Amino acid sequence: MTVLAKSSAELGSESARSLYEKLSVRLKDIGHLKSISGLLQWDQEVMMPPKAAAARAMQSSVLAGLTHEAQTSPVLGSILEELEKRKQTEDLSKVLNPYELANIRIARHRYKEETVLPAELVKACAVLDSEAAGAWAQARKESDYSKFAPYLEEHVKLLRQKASYRLKSGVYEEARKINEKARASLGLKEGEPCYKGYYQALLNTYEAGFKDEQLQVLFNDLKENIVPLIAKIKAKNFQHDNSYIEGDFDVEKQTAFSHRISKEIGFDTEGGRLDVSVHPFTSGIHPSDVRMTTRYTINNFQEGITGTIHETGHSLYEQGRNKEYHDLPISDALSMGVHESQSLLWERMVGLSKPFWEYALPILKEHFQGPSHEKLQTVTPEEYYKAFNRVEPGFIRIEADEVCYPMHIITRYEIEKALVEGDITVAEVPGVWNAKYKEYLGLEVKEDRQGCLQDTHWALGLIGYFPTYTLGSIYAVQIFNAAKEAIPNLDQHIAKGEFHVLKKWLNENIHEQGSLRESGDDLIKDLTGKSLDSKIYVRYLTEKYSEIYDL
């Protein structure tokens, strides 16, 4: 690790270009350390023998400590400070290109974000995460919310502290303004607590630059339109036959099929791997080393291939990151929502489409022959498409179809925001949750394990994360629409398995753009001329499912 001995006084005599180069060396070292952390995590999920867990925890903790030291190094701070000063006296865009300027912006944001939190708070959060994870697992098993509630209470307390520090950091301006306005309108004095704007600060950890205000508008519109759509589908009381999706699907054959499809979509196996893990994920250790996982269920074929295509979408983003700026923040994905847009675009816009099954069904039939697949051999792409797109409200988010999914997210969003900002108490969560599932999905939650205890996110302090799933779906539709406009006959390309045209377009317009923009909304605006728009998403769902269910 390069240790720059120079003080900030000496930095004053260096050119902006030279300062940038110094910054760049440090950012790359931080990038390498994060790559190593990524490998440790992948290994833990996929390869590590079980007895190694305790030693791995120590290794990860030492590495996290070193990474934190590198990220909060006072020399790094001095370089950033000096570059900030330069902005006042010279036009940096004359010596640095937009990617380099974005590196400085992101580096400054991350530096502030890392340094503003007191070490004790960071430690307390880490301890709570691991304790709460255990408590949550137990509570879910027993379906006993009271066993988890004290940990959620503590999370809310610590997250408020986190948000409060962030508001003071100078890089969460939107959140700070909301809070200031609320305080003024409530006539609060210095020291009197006010948590308004805190959710904005938490949201921006995962979804850079996105406004909670805009999120609220989008989500309200989705509610208004999707709840009646679900009701309409339910009222039809009809399902397409999907018996050929269930049955006895040999795992080796599923594996071969999944590997073939992900490779034909464009996953570069020379710069990545596809393995199996309990929960599918993609680990972007480095654009030249992208490791994804899936899982196969013997009696249901859909899970494995859907998971594979979803993770392939994430992987194409990682493999497509800007080669000029590897290991630098600018080449990172813009936000969780934009990352999810890439997995969902391939999973839903492509993998759940008619043209895709025109391409994939013959390959599937090649892989699965014999007596247990007789029915599969006779099915048409049209029938297969409809069977693959069943809509059926259920309790569990991760099993939800694309129509019901947003309602799972909106429930969580409304509850976690109200919790952090003080509008409901931890004790009220199950009641609020169940009322919303009744209203949005028409379901009576009988047990908290199929209700507010189903997801691990809150146990890990991940508040502000859930909305990115649904932002990802909306981005995906708008991005795919833009791709369709830009690529003549995209549907025909997909039907022939010519995925490279779409991949190339996504590489150029999304992946290589990295974190050049300040928010996903800016990216969409530049790409389509329009802000993120729930109406477009609703139209997509309505048209697709009106045809499938003959509404």
Q: Contact residues for a second copy (CB under 8 A)?
A: 1, 28-29, 32-33, 35-36, 39-40, 43, 47-52, 54-56, 58-59, 62-63, 65-66, 69, 268-273, 285-286, 288-289, 326-327
How far apart (Å, rounded) are the C-alpha atoms in residues 263 and 267? 5
Residue with structure tokens 């309200």?
Answer: 220
Give the nearer residue to a second copy in terms of CB position, either 54 or 278: 54
Q: CB–CB of 343/311 below 8 Å?
A: yes
Using the 8-state DSSP alphabet, how is residue 156 labeled? H
Active-site annotation holder among 82, 311, 340, 402: 311
Give the nearer residue to a second copy in terms of CB position, either 37 or 78: 37
Min separation Cβ 29 and a second copy, Å: 5
Label each residue of 305-343 as H, E or C: HHHHHHHHHHHHHHHCCCHHHCCCHHHCCCCHHHHHHHH
Give the nearer residue to a second copy in terms of CB position, either 37 or 204: 37
Min separation Cβ 329 and a second copy, Å: 16
Min separation Cβ 59 and a second copy, Å: 5
CA angle 394/400/405 to nearest 5° reads 105
512: tokens are 């290589």
Q: CB–CB of 164/197 below 8 Å?
A: no
Closest CA to 313 of 278, 350, 287, 279: 350
Min separation Cβ 330 and a second copy, Å: 17
Residue type, 320: G
Length of the chain: 551
How far apart (Å, rounded) are the C-alpha atoms in residues 536 and 531? 11
Give the nearer residue to a second copy in terms of CB position, either 36 or 121: 36
Q: Which residues make beta-bridge pairs with 286?
A: 289
Q: CB–CB of 397/405 below 8 Å?
A: yes
Min separation Cβ 69 and a second copy, Å: 7
Give the nearer residue to a second copy in terms of CB position, either 67 or 434: 67
Give the nearer residue to a second copy in terms of CB position, either 55 or 298: 55
Min separation Cβ 5 and a second copy, Å: 14
Q: What H or E segment, with its residue span, contains residue 276?
A: strand 272-276
Residue type, 425: T
- Is-catalytic flag, 142? no
Closest CA to 452 of 396, 535, 512: 396
Q: CB–CB of 163/176 below 8 Å?
A: no
Which residues are catalytic, by number?
A: 311
